[in-house]
Amino acid sequence: MRSLLLLLLGLSLSAGQSPTYSVAASPQRLQNTAGTPPAAGIRFYSFTFQEPHPYHLSVHYGDIEGDPSAGGRYGVEAGIENDEAIAFATIDIIDEAGNSIQPVPMVAEGLGYMYRFVGLMTVPAHPFRVRLTGQGLDGTRFTRVHRRLFRPAATPQRSPTFAESLPPDVPREVIAGLQQMFDRLAPKTVAEREALLAANPDGRIVMPRYQISNVTYAPLQSPAGGPIGFRVTYDIVFSRSGRYSPGLLIGGENMGTGTVERVRLHTLESTIVPPPREVHAPEKEAANYPDLFSQRADFLYEKDTLYRFTVERVPNYIRRERDRLTLCMSDPQSQKSFDRMVANTGPTRYEVSIGDGVFTSTIESFYGEGIFYRTFMTERTPACDQRPRQP
């Protein structure tokens, strides 16, 4: 009954007045409107000392409690806000008078959608502060001194042993097994941090960049030729091999009412050529399965390689049937929101963002979501099979 009502509604819309605007069928080029982030926004908000700590069945660096010990060698991590404005930077230790004592070797470790600034350092014997200096992408030199004055302990601070960190009711044999795991993995954790720094011997933090170019959009058409969404393509070259997440976001704004709508489009198909590699299986290429970009674009990419991205976006209620080929319509989560979407047949403005704002642009006077809906109803797109899949 619901499918029949939707069909009747769609046919009544099709019989109404046609839109008075037109959309080019050929790919249209987009220009980047993202400005250079100012160095004035850079904030140095934390600097922590770390030691290897157990985490589930692995070992990672974790923050120590209190001040570090003089002469001790620790992992360190810097918290920097608005790091996208940094061209390059260094971190050093200064005394209370502001004189430089020693540099701190650091590296920007990519986590896909952000960076973590980590390093190793030997703690001096007297009080000190930590200073961040560098140059922004806008050409401005900057200096930020973290507010905390570190007062190193004169005698080595004993961290709790692995056994002491566990609840008292854990059986001894379990503690012994976990201790063996920690003893085996802790040196590996330190070695991995050392390897990161070895790849950046001068300790200068140079932020990885990627060049986004040849960004185009065009209507995504059904087999019968009706508009059902977007096809967006773009090229990226990375300045350094590593982990990145250059995903695509599209948000709509109804130009008739001026009401900003939440994102209503999701990825139907996507490809990356050549294929990047999986983060947790570096030897494995990322498969170009249909919903590759539904969750992420987070992969390992090689520097100086041109990657071609193609992403197809359709309304959120459109899915693929069990055969992964046939398009189908799922029931809307909100009828009120769905009715508003169906009514949006006028020219619509869409905001485009790639790589978390590295590239931004605007698509003017594109099809409204109601036009996509007319295509699906006219072509009698079936309702999705709502039965649970068999295990």
Could you tell me which residue, 157 or 391, shows the higher pLDDT? 157
Taking residues 111-117, what's their average pLDDT? 84
What is the model's pLDDT at position 15?
40
What is the model's pLDDT at position 286?
81
d(CA 195, CA 204): 15
Q: Give per-residue pLDDT as tens, 258-289.
A: 555 555 788 888 889 999 998 888 888 887 65
Q: Kindly indicate the confidence band of residue 4, based on its pLDDT and cuts at 50, 70 and 90.
A: very low
Using alpha carbons, select from 6, 102, 12, 119 the residue that is nearest to residue 380.
Answer: 6
- pLDDT at 144 exceeding the cut of 60: yes
The least confident of 132-136, 335-339, 365-369 is: 335-339
> What is the domain partition of the chain in residue ranges?
2-30+208-378, 39-206
Task: Give domain 39-206's CATH architecture.
Answer: Sandwich (2.60)
What is the model's pLDDT at position 101?
93
Using alpha carbons, select from 38, 379, 20, 377 the residue that is nearest to residue 223.
Answer: 379
**CA distance between the termini of the chain:** 29
Q: Give per-residue pLDDT as tens, 6-62.
A: 444 444 444 444 456 789 999 999 999 998 999 999 999 999 999 998 877 788 898
The helix, strand and coil proportions of the chain, stated in percent and rounded to the nearest 5, come to 20, 40, 40
The four Cα atoms 161, 165, 171, 174 give a dihedral, to 10 degrees, of -70
Mean pLDDT, all residues of the chain: 84
What is the model's pLDDT at position 344?
75
What is the model's pLDDT at position 16?
42
- CA–chain centroid gap for 381, Å, is 33
Structure tokens at 134: 């560098």
Taking residues 213-233, what's their average pLDDT? 93
The DSSP letter of residue 83 is G
Could you tell me which residue, 238 or 336, shows the higher pLDDT? 238
DSSP reduced 3-state for 320: strand
Using a 10 angstrom Cβ sphere, with 0-12 exposed, 13-18 middle and 19 or more buried, the burial of residue 131 is buried
